[in-house]
Structure 1
Amino acid sequence: MMLVGLTGGIGSGKSTVGKLLEDLGVPVYNSDIEAKRLMNTSKVLRRKIVQLLGEEAFVDDTLNRAYIAKKVFNDKALLEKLNGIVHPAVRKHFLRWAKKKDHPYVVQETALLFENGMQDYYDKTVLVTAPKDIRIKRIMERDGSTRQQVLDRMDNQLDDAIKLPLADYVLENIELDKIKGKVQALNIALLEYC
């Protein structure tokens, strides 16, 4: 089975691409969703997160996302420590999940694939891109974030110019109608590679 890493900067539409692949029958593992679930359910992860960030990291046995975001997004060293706790657990969970799938390839959707130097974990990588102004608008509309909040989050990710030469496939995602055709073509290419 081939492992495919799907990534893209915030607001690029990588989740849209992931959903379109799922619609084609491809198993897609959403790392953001699974990381949040694991942080809420794993006693080991919980203990490590509390040691790093304090008891306020959880409220009523639930991850306090607002508190954690406030702590880590302006402290890159602390964010790296948190990622160092969460990402290995997510990777291990993904590999167990992938073994249970019956498809020529599976996809792991993950925001920080290249930032964390994880490209060698995959047989192929897919980068979803979109112009910065479109990405900012999407996130502001989706999350109710301010422009500055979006820019702050973007600062924690590599620029697309750095990621482009690292990716095996690049999909520019501006219009939904066009990205559908690009995802169908990507699926055909990946199946041919298997």
Structure 2
Amino acid sequence: MVVGLTGGIGSGKSTILKCFKSYGIPVYIADDEAKALMNRSKVIQRKLIHLFGEKAYIDDHLNRPYLASKIFNDKTLLAKMNAIVHPKVASHFKRWLNKHDAAYVIKEVAIIFENNLQSQYDYIITVVADEDLRIKRVMQRDAVSEEKVMSIIKNQWSDADKIKKSDFVIINNDLEDAKKQALKIHNTLLKKLKH
């Protein structure tokens, strides 16, 4: 069983993933794997250089700030980049999945709904938190301005829209409370597997 975990920037997805890891559930972080593949795969590298030009890589390493500046306001370019990277991540995930025989696995993807990928999951958990808390978390974590965080939030689906399409929701304003919610969902998923 594949469970998707999503949520807006600063909602605390990583914290919630740690909870599931502590229950022995394998966790796949699509964003991290995509970054690794963009650095490792010569095929992706060649295609991204073709799309963005020579500046896409510096000394064989992805030039993330350059790519981010190119795609931030260009949805077409972003879609083209995703068309190169996502299929590779999908096949990498399939190989990873075959190595695990846990009750279920969690695949964390920030933009499940934005990319209309919900059909790939048996269940979807969305992590939400108050906007002011999310802004504070990201400003501290990434040392960026409030405006920068807000522009990213505005580019993502609203929590309300995500909640409507989710099977489970974790409200992550308080860590201890969020841990209890994660454990409850874990137990519910195990029960669903038994039926």
TM-score bracket for this pair, using the shorter chain length: over 0.9
In structure 2, the residue corresponding to 1:155 is in which secondary structure? helix
**Match of 1:46?**
45
Matches within 5 A, 1:1-150: 2-150=1-149
1:28-78 CA distance string (max 9 Å, x none):
001111110000001111111111111111101011111111111122221
Contact 1:6 1:110 in 2 (8 A): yes
TM-score (norm 2): 0.96
1:74-112 CA distance string (max 9 Å, x none):
222211221222122111111210111020101100101
**Any unmatched runs of 5+ in structure 2?**
none
1:92-134 CA distance string (max 9 Å, x none):
1112101110201011001011100000001111100111111
Distance 1:135 1:142 in 2: 10
CA-CA distance at 1:179 after TM superposition: 1.0
Q: How many residues align?
A: 193
Contact 1:9 1:128 in 2 (8 A): yes
In the TM superposition, structure 1's runs of 4+ consecutive aligned residues that sit over 6 Å from their partners are: none
Paired amino acid for 2:121: Y
In structure 1, the residue corresponding to 2:155 is in which secondary structure? coil
Distance 2:121 2:80 in 1: 23
State the superposition RMSD in angstroms.
1.0
Q: How high is the sequence identity, in percent, across the aligned residues?
A: 49
CA-CA distance at 1:155 after TM superposition: 2.4
Distance 1:167 1:55 in 2: 40
Distance 1:164 1:183 in 2: 16
1:131-181 CA distance string (max 9 Å, x none):
111111110010001111111212221111111111010111011111111
TM-score (norm 1): 0.96
